[in-house]
Amino acid sequence: MYKEDEDIADFLAYLQDRYSWPQYVRTTTGKNNHERIIRVMRKMRGTLPMTAAVQSLNPIVLKNIERSNIKLEAYHEITKELQAQGMQSYGELILCLPGETKASFMKSVEGLIDAGVKRISAHQLMLLHGAPLCNPESRERYGFKTRFRVVARNIGKYLDEPVAEIEEIVVETPTFTFAEYLETRVFHLLLTIFFYEGNLEEVFEFARQSGIKPFDLIVRMQTRLADAPAGFRQLIQDFIRESQEELFDTKEECIAWARHSFDDLVSGQVGGNLLSKYSMLGRFFVTQDALDFLETQIVAALKELPDAPQLEPAHTLVDYLKSVLLHAPFAETLAARPHWTTLWDVELWRREGYQKHLETYRFAEPQTFACVVEPKRKAVIENRLHTFGEHPAGMGKFTRTMFARDLHRTLVRVEQSAIVTG
């Protein structure tokens, strides 16, 4: 990040004050000049998350790819400052880098989550012409096994000729098997559905306060997918199937398939960004199944603790999420006004940064809230649905410039008399 970026941030802040725009800025901020990054993010008042492309936290891998990284301890200090300012940080990793193992990759994910990162992207290792890792010497040295696939959304007709861009990606190395590649892809999908931008963070913060790390809860869910509701199990199975079907041994096979399947690629029936597609399905189309699965797994994990806490708060938090989350069909959920009754002030607990245990926020008696969609928020969502469509590809586009919490209802306390008369 450069000095002039602070001037750009000042101008964007001026636009926000005058026009209430932009409300979300998506860019890569860098990671090494953290004082400047924090200053810029303060100017942007929460609309610019910090994105650090760390690639890996494995020193062997970093040496192999000739990269240096910010120390995890320093990164943790930055994220603490960001959280104190109500801001978020994102981390980016790459699968199948030379020398990476599944265990070291998962350790990198765990380290980023422990440091307070709210969204983790695990990119594919693309072999681009001219890049050092694409050279024959590097391919042989690191034992890359590659496949070819159509680049997501890089298709079109030009002079009536169907054109698709093809990429070559690494799916296996001597230290990272293809089976492990698929396993980490599924883990990343679960992480994106359940941990994206703190979308369901109340449950994970309660788990953390009870002695269960968020990373461990996601790992647990992956090992118990057979226990998930049928709709969610099918989603995972379809993701694994498509993740294999999109890969081809040769570029020629991939091009031939793209020509044959061109109309389906354009419509989104096949291909595209599979992680985006299936995370949208998990977050917005099988929402209840996903939350039911999360509930059963956190309750089971809590029961296994030596000093198991009360389970009622966990059930209450999932019920809270079921009440506030907007999902498909949006015409119904935008119009719905569910009521939620609780013994805990969950939103005050969240606003104060989960610094104290949830039990500290217990009401003297149960309180009931109406869960409503504010008119301005409703108008924005309806406009984006009209523009992009209510399907996984469309949802993937319009959620890229919104925070996850922009798709939550707002709580309004209901007076006891209104409950009795209503």
Residues 344 and 362 in one domain: yes
Give 345-380 pLDDT, tens digit per residue: 999 999 998 989 999 999 999 999 999 999 999 999
CATH code of the domain containing 13 = 3.30.750
Residue 329, pLDDT > 60, answer yes
Separation between Cα atoms, residue 29 and residue 240, nearest integer Å: 32
Helix (H) or strand (E) holding 136: helix 136-142
Final residue of a domain: which of 63, 95, 122?
122
DSSP secondary structure code for residue 72 in this structure: H
Whole-number pLDDT of residue 85: 66
In the chain, pLDDT over 70 holds for what percent of residues?
95
Residues 135 and 31 in one domain: no
Residue 196, pLDDT > 80, answer yes
Residues 78 and 225 in one domain: no
Average pLDDT over residues 274-297: 97
Final residue of a domain: which of 122, 138, 160?
122
Residues 270 and 145 in one domain: yes
Domain that holds residue 193: 124-421
Residues 112 and 163 in one domain: no
Confidence of residue 344 (pLDDT cuts 50, 70, 90): very high
Residues 244 and 331 in one domain: yes
Residues 107 and 39 in one domain: yes
Residues 188 and 283 in one domain: yes
Average pLDDT over residues 115-121: 87
Residues 48 and 140 in one domain: no
Residues 328 and 232 in one domain: yes
Final residue of a domain: which of 122, 145, 175?
122
- Specify the pTM: 0.90
Domain count, the chain: 2
Phi, psi dihedrals of residue 370, rounded to the nearest 5°:
-90, 135
Residues 98 and 241 in one domain: no
Residues 150 and 165 in one domain: yes
List the 89-94 sheet strands across, edge first. Answer: 50-55, 89-94, 119-123
| CA distances for 318 relative to 207, 289, 355, 377, angstroms | 12, 12, 20, 23
